[in-house]
Amino acid sequence: MMTASRPVKKTQKSFADLPPIRVRREPPTVNEAVAAAQDLADDVEQQVEIAAGLIGLPADEVRPHVLAAKKAKPERAPERILTHASPSRAPRTVVVERRTRPTVVIERRTRPLAPPR
């Protein structure tokens, strides 16, 4: 008696068989830390503390970079656009605010990280 053969699935490798994922641990650059601090806080002193904590440098070394970045990034006033008014309505004001934020890159992992050694 002949039986129909079913397709056999290949067994996947277990995570134990795979080599551990190596993760590079690099502190952010000064510019990256200052940009992150500016997005997180409005106060300059708080920005200095955040950037110093991210980089691992003393606050006195980071402060000139934060102050220079503050001057280089001027605050833009919102643009106002007035529409034509009809006799029965007052003119409407539309406020346009532009915000530029760095793009966020999310890495997808296909297997769990190896435990730290």
Q: What is the pLDDT of residues 82-107, one digit of tens each?
A: 556 666 666 666 677 777 777 777 76
Give per-residue pLDDT as tens, 27-53.
888 999 999 999 898 899 999 999 999
- The residue ranges of every structural domain in the chain are 30-68
Instruction: Return the percentage of the chain with pLDDT > 90, whole number.
Output: 26
pLDDT (mean) for 58-78: 80
Mean pLDDT of the chain: 76
Determine the 3-state secondary structure of 96 from DSSP: strand
Phi, psi angle pair for 32, to nearest 5°: -65, -40
Cα–Cα distances (Å) from 92 to 4, 14, 66, 68, 80, in that order, read 75, 63, 39, 39, 10
DSSP 8-state class, residue 110? S
pLDDT band for 22, please (50, 70, 90 cuts): confident
Looking at the chain, the number of H-run helices and the number of E-run strands are 3, 2
Instruction: Return the percentage of the chain with pLDDT > 70, whole number.
Output: 57
- Predicted confidence at residue 82, as pLDDT, reads 59
- Predicted confidence at residue 47, as pLDDT, reads 93
Whether the pTM exceeds 0.75: the reply is no
